[in-house]
Amino acid sequence: MAQKLVIIGNGMAPGRMLEELFERAPGLYDVTIFNAEPRVNYDRIMLSPVLSGEKTYEDIIIHGDDWYEEHGVTLHRGAKVAKIDREAKAVTAENGVTASYDRLVIATGSSPFIIPVPGHDLPGVLAYRDLDDVDRMLKIAEGQGHAVVIGGGLLGLEAAYGLKQRGMSVTVLHLMDTIMERQLDPAAAYLLEKALDDRGIEIITKANTKQILGSGKVEGVELEDGRIISADMVVMAVGIRPAAALAKDAGLETNRGIVVDDGMATSDPSIFALGECAEHRGVCYGLVAPLYESAIVLADRLAGGAAEYKGSHVNTKLKVTGIKLFSAGDFAEGPDREEVVLRDATRGVYKRVILKDNRVIGAVLYGDTADGAWYFEMLKRGTDVSEMRETLIYGQAYQGGGAADPAAAVAALPDDAEICGCNGICKGKIVTAIKDKGLTSLDDVRAHTKASASCGTCTGLVEQLMALTLGDAYNPAAVQPVCGCTDLGHDDVRRLIRAKGLKTIPAVMQELEWKTSCGCAKCRPALNYYLVCDWPGEYADDYQSRFINERVHANIQKDGTYSVVPRMWGGVTSSKELRAIADVVDKYEIPTVKCTGGQRIDMLGVKKEDLPAVWADLGKAGFVSGQAYAKGLRTVKTCVGSDWCRFGTQDSTGLGIRLEKFMWGSWTPAKLKLAVSGCPRNCAEATCKDIGVICVDSGFEIHFAGAAGLEIRGTEVLGMVKTEDEALEHIVALTQMYREQGRYLERIYKWAKRIGYDEVRAQIMDDADKRKAYFERFVESQKYAQVDPWSERVSGKDKHEFKPMAVVGQTEPAE
């Protein structure tokens, strides 16, 4: 019979402990969790990107509802535990829920320290510890205004950056001479303060808060020197205290935190403490890496093992986009220490390594943190650096007399070397997962190990490990930078465009530190798409940043001529349209006319100088562009359906025309082809399209993520709907989800595989609110969809000048 394990708290440390426990001893315990917050486990170290807008709550969930269900975990949300009855071995929550235990884990975390100055209890004075705090900040930030952050430590500076990104003006008040004085020396602190000032964040050091001013709400902060700073919000980020009161009331030994031994047991052998509330050998840890290390030890103990926790070394990284900072160990000056320093003012780089007895005891890196893991590993191991003393400051790649392959440096790391500090993941665990689970992409590694899934600063190391482990089998295309103009990948570029509110290509290149002045033929089309999609109606589509085919509404051929494909809605045409096409073919002596696989007519061999006139004549006949060249909706292929076919169950032609007219002109990450078949015989070949519909007696079966090009793939079933209106809504919502999440030139089948077919189904089929929101955003964006320069749809500022003769540019890459 399974033992009863009760956990008080649902943070990152108990979450990691349970992952390890379920792996070591599945089924050993019936697990019940009491969580004071009304939600599942999420990544609290990613609150800063949520505050800044770079991530959402959904992005930082660690264990969703399905995880608890899969492992049989009972989760009581919004249930703060009020009492531990050690004699009865039971806990009781404030809402009256009681659970008995054989073993109990207390993981109550910590509480923020609020300076008890006058006015500290005014509305608008906030702490910064959980998602509720972030939600309160965001609500106030909607009105812009001024925020004052008290505390220039790690958390305070991240809060300041996040609020600045939300449009507030921000002042940071710090009591000491320099910011982050516990983690940085004065030189690094100076560089950091300058970087924050460049971002519009005011820093005031040696600032002692006298009182918080306001009548009914926060209005300002008064300093001891008499200065008054106006404020609509005051964020207290001056420290934390272990939440040990519950344990103390239960008679457990407490000091600053809940005292535990090397097995994480309290003074009661059936009760354990974990996380920020625990005190081990006189130390309470507040960073996630040591909490994860102790979580693994506790999982082993609960599974019957004898692992011991000996304490941790910690390192610090600041989660402010564009600022590279690493700090570890002891960097104070002293007579028994020496330091090695490198400064590069041009690059904004500062490195300082502190040695004692030829061993690294501290390191501070600013501007270039690539060697942080290497220094940290030597610090933990007490490595003698005598042999590399002269080149130590230049980093790992320079050892042995020259700049070595970075992969060789990673190869030299031991298996227990920490790669991902946020999640406490070592090299050996990543390599084992890659080999045992057949992982081939960065997303796979993140999903199975969590390495690089949080702040992302270790992504380069993880990629090098993958290359080292997989050799030629590793294809890093999906995680490579957009192009040589930037070190950022597509996902980061798109995330930062939204977070920073960047609405022009020059703004993107400036704020994201592009390496070239104007970009290139790879990045400009991608940036143009992301801006068009993310800011419809605000961003003016830049045709010069599109491939030549998109600019001239025709496909360039190998002889330099072009092919022209007018749109035929759902593949249906008429004698009038056919006569117009025939007249154009004769008039411009077009040598070849061909039916396409998408049920359209393609005129091949059109001279470049004839393109404007060809399209003008077609436009007079009512044709619009078929966008056979576009990163957008190309065709909706149909069969004749119930109107004519004796097997047809629904009006497939009508639905195809409706879909095409509703969705045409919408840019997408890559070309998009649809099909609607009127019965399961599937004459329109809907099961190899990007999105397909199979009509059946009971309704419409929607498919997605097929391919019939360089890669052959059958579709996945999205789900079944009963009506044509529902089919339209689901397909449009799916398209919008792909538009918002897909990387430029990433076909829908690659996108769906990357994020997970079940995730697509969950958002489109199961979550009506999300589906409707996607649908509504698509409808809004269609007001600003691409238009033809000869079409009657064009008016005023929406009109693009059509000058194919003036266009020189890149042909689009093969897909």
User: Which backbone phi and psi does 564 adopt, to 5 degrees?
Assistant: -120, 130
Is residue 810 included in any domain, yes or no?
A: no
What residue numbers does the annotated binding site cover?
A: 639, 645, 679, 683
Residues 6+ apart with CB under 8 A from 299: 17, 18, 19, 20, 21, 24
For residue 222, list its beta bridge partners: 211, 228
Is residue 277 included in any domain, yes or no?
A: yes
Do both 259 and 229 map to the same domain? no
Nearest C-alpha neighbor of 51 from the set 114, 134, 133, 174: 134
Do both 199 and 266 map to the same domain? no
Residue 678 in tokens: 């009127």
Alpha-carbon torsion, ordered 426, 429, 431, 433, to 10 deg: -150
Do both 38 and 18 map to the same domain? yes
> What's the CATH number where 168 sits?
3.50.50.60
Final residue before a domain boundary, out of 302, 332, 349:
302
Do both 586 and 716 map to the same domain? no
Q: How much of the chain, in percent, has pLDDT values that exceed 70?
A: 94
Do both 565 and 689 map to the same domain? no
Residue 338 in tokens: 């020496």
Do both 133 and 234 map to the same domain? yes
Residue 127 in tokens: 């702490």
pLDDT band at 666 (very low <50, low <70, confident <90, very high): confident
Do both 107 and 256 map to the same domain? yes
pLDDT band at 400 (very low <50, low <70, confident <90, very high): low
Nearest C-alpha neighbor of 563 from the set 588, 529, 541, 526: 588
Is residue 296 included in any domain, yes or no?
A: yes
Question: How far apart (Å, rounded) are the C-alpha atoms in residues 50 and 159?
Answer: 10
Residue 209 in tokens: 């808060």
pLDDT tens figures, 475-496: 664 457 888 888 888 888 988 8
**Which secondary-structure segment (H or E) carries 525?**
helix 523-534
Residues 6+ apart with CB under 8 A from 625: 553, 565, 566, 567, 615, 788
pLDDT band at 500 (very low <50, low <70, confident <90, very high): confident
Do both 51 and 77 map to the same domain? yes
**More confident site: 380 or 402:** 380
Q: Is-contact 52 165, C-beta < 8 A?
A: yes
Ranges 105-119, 402-416, 518-532, 605-619: which has the least confidence: 402-416
pLDDT band at 791 (very low <50, low <70, confident <90, very high): very low
What residue numbers does the annotated binding site for [4Fe-4S] cluster cover?
A: 639, 645, 679, 683
Final residue before a domain boundary, out of 238, 253, 268:
238
pLDDT tens figures, 349-385: 899 999 999 999 999 999 888 888 889 989 988 999 9
What three-state secondary structure class fits 359?
strand
Rounded mean pLDDT of 249-276?
Answer: 97
pLDDT at site 792 = 41
Mean pLDDT value across the chain: 89
Residue 511 in tokens: 């704020």
Q: Is-contact 706 689, C-beta < 8 A?
A: yes
What residue numbers does the annotated binding site for siroheme cover?
A: 683
Final residue before a domain boundary, out of 302, 324, 352:
302
> What's the CATH number where 740 sits?
3.30.413.10
Start-to-end Cα distance in the chain: 57
Is residue 461 included in any domain, yes or no?
A: no
> What's the CATH number where 578 sits?
3.90.480.10
CA 219 to chain centre: 35
Question: How far apart (Å, rounded) are the C-alpha atoms in residues 141 and 393?
Answer: 43
pLDDT tens figures, 98-148: 999 999 999 999 999 999 999 999 999 999 999 999 999 999 999 889 999
| Bridging pattern class, strands 672-677 and 691-696 | parallel
Residue 643 in tokens: 């109107």
Question: How far apart (Å, rounded) are the C-alpha atoms in residues 395 and 101?
Answer: 51
Do both 666 and 769 map to the same domain? yes
pLDDT tens figures, 621-647: 889 887 778 899 999 999 999 999 999
Length of the chain: 815
pLDDT at site 788 = 60
Angle of the 724-741 helix axis to the 768-781 helix axis, nearest 10: 80
Do both 53 and 36 map to the same domain? yes
pLDDT of residue 283 exceeding 90: yes
| Bridging pattern class, strands 672-677 and 633-638 | parallel
Residue 251 CA: distances (Å) to CA of 34, 82, 83, 281, 569: 20, 14, 11, 19, 76
Question: How far apart (Å, rounded) are the C-alpha atoms in residues 553 and 402?
Answer: 53
Q: Convert 430-456 to b/e letters by CB count within 10 Å (16 or more is b).
A: bbebbeeeebbbbbbbbebbbbbbbbb
| Bridging pattern class, strands 325-329 and 315-317 | antiparallel
Q: Is-contact 606 618, C-beta < 8 A?
A: no
pLDDT tens figures, 66-87: 999 999 999 999 999 999 999 9
Residue 717 in tokens: 């079933």
Residue 232 CA: distances (Å) to CA of 169, 319, 698, 764: 10, 24, 57, 39
Q: Whole domain around residue 594: which residue ranges?
A: 549-620
Do both 50 and 30 map to the same domain? yes
pLDDT tens figures, 176-226: 999 999 888 888 899 999 999 989 999 999 999 999 999 999 999 999 999
pTM of this prediction exceeds 0.85: no
Do both 29 and 68 map to the same domain? yes
Domain tally for the chain?
A: 5
CA 734 to chain centre: 19
Place of tokens 């509110």: 501
Strand order in the sheet with 90-93: 81-85, 90-93, 98-100
Residue 207 in tokens: 């600032």
User: Which backbone phi and psi does 436 adopt, to 5 degrees?
Assistant: -70, -35
pLDDT at site 409 = 65
Is residue 7 included in any domain, yes or no?
A: yes
Question: How far apart (Å, rounded) are the C-alpha atoms in residues 187 and 189?
Answer: 5
What three-state secondary structure class fits 111?
strand
Neighbours of 644 (CB within 10 A): 10
pLDDT tens figures, 696-732: 999 999 999 999 887 898 999 999 999 999 999 999 9
pLDDT of residue 798 exceeding 70: no
Is residue 707 included in any domain, yes or no?
A: yes
Single-letter residue type at 387: E
The three-state (H, E, C) secondary structure of 49-104, written as one string: HHHHCCCCCHHHEEECHHHHHHCCCEEECCCCEEEEECCCCEEEECCCCEEECCEE
Question: How far apart (Å, rounded) are the C-alpha atoms in residues 312 and 556?
Answer: 62
Is residue 267 included in any domain, yes or no?
A: yes
Is residue 340 included in any domain, yes or no?
A: no
Question: How far apart (Å, rounded) are the C-alpha atoms in residues 664 and 600?
Answer: 15
